Amino acid sequence: MAPIILRKLARAGRNRELTWRYVFNLTSTLAYQLGRRPLSAEVDRVQRELKEHGIAVTSAAALLENSLCYQALLEEVADLEAHHADQLAAARLSSEDTNAIGQKTFNVELLGEHPRLDLDSIYARFALQEEILQTANAYFGMYTRLRYFNVWHTLTTRSQPRESQLWHRDREDFHILKMFLYLCDVDEGAGPFTYATGSHIRSNISREPECFMEGNVKRSNDSQMAKVIPPSRWKMGAGPKGTIVFADTSGYHKGGLAREHDRIMYTCMFTSQASQSKEFMLRPAELSRPADKDVRFAVAS
């Protein structure tokens, strides 16, 4: 009985700001508070907007001091798209399979389900850039951990919205920060990421929307969400190639309902060090120790 009670107390503690921060993440919180560095004007703007609304939109040009990583990523993804042309063509044939709930047949992870964590790879290096880590760390108020990165190619479909195309919230941590970098122009017809502003945990929305179970996941449609958060507060993260969307996905969001054009984007996810989320990367047996403290915390095992 005692272990069961302790597990319940631990779960409850992870859902409270103070215990999540000062019990489960004390080391990374104190280390950040003692060692944090000044933020650029754009990083500061983005993290403040995130705290207020749960979402912030910027661009590679505005956020990143150096464009070399961005340009290198564009070149690598162009090669990746060419390499996976046959896989994408095959995936398009099954993209509307509504019987494959849980497989997101409309979305192809071009780096595979579990990309390799290689610090020399452009896919890891992009997520570990100073401005991106500073945004994540400033939003959390602690040194964060990189849990995932990939390149998504979202295929156009005509089927009814399903899975992540419906409103939902993520559960990996108390706060969860995801970044989406559009590698093509993304308008309403390409299934842009859409967020119900003020629905993140910091805001404590007064009530949850009605929902239904899709597999083991709670989903809500537009009419159900509108009863709790009106469409005037739904922020559509559309934008040209190079647009970056940051969002705390503990708040309600949806995306990927591409009706007119495919969507190609790079994405990564940050959580606290103490998150019980599994890591969606293949970690090598040995990983070199980065010189930068932000990066060391981000790739800690």
Give residue-wise pLDDT tens across range 10-69.
Answer: 565 688 899 999 999 999 999 999 998 999 999 999 999 999 999 999 999 999 999 999
Q: Is residue 16 part of a domain?
A: no
Q: Is residue 15 part of a domain?
A: no
The model's pTM is 0.95
Q: What are the CB-based long-range contacts (under 8 Å, 24+) for 279-285?
A: 279/147, 279/148, 280/113, 280/114, 280/115, 280/147, 280/148, 280/150, 281/114, 281/115, 281/116, 281/117, 281/146, 281/147, 281/148, 281/149, 282/114, 282/115, 282/116, 282/117, 283/117, 284/116, 284/117, 284/118
Q: Is residue 6 part of a domain?
A: no
Q: Is residue 73 part of a domain?
A: yes
What DSSP line would sit under 11-71, residue for residue?
A: HHHHTSHHHIIIIITHHHHHHHHHH--PPPHHHHHHHHHHHHHSEEEEEHHHH-S--HHHH
- Residue 45: domain span: 40-298
Query: What's the rounded Cα separation, in Å, for the pair 205 and 152?
Result: 30
Q: Is residue 20 part of a domain?
A: no
In order along its 301 residues, the chain shows pLDDT tens digits of 445 443 444 565 688 899 999 999 999 999 999 998 999 999 999 999 999 999 999 999 999 999 999 999 999 999 999 999 999 999 999 999 988 899 999 999 999 999 999 999 999 999 999 999 999 999 999 999 999 999 999 999 999 999 999 999 999 999 999 999 999 999 999 999 999 999 998 777 778 999 999 988 999 999 999 999 999 999 999 999 999 999 999 999 999 999 999 999 999 999 999 999 888 999 998 898 999 999 999 999 8
Query: What's the rounded Cα separation, in Å, for the pair 31 and 273?
Result: 12
Q: Is residue 25 part of a domain?
A: no
Tell me the β-bridge partners of 267.
Answer: 150, 180
Rg (CA), the chain: 19
Number of domains, the chain = 1
Q: Is residue 87 part of a domain?
A: yes
The string of pLDDT tens digits covering residues 232-256 is 999 999 999 999 999 999 999 999 9
Q: Is residue 118 part of a domain?
A: yes
Which CATH number goes with the domain that contains 284? 2.60.120.620
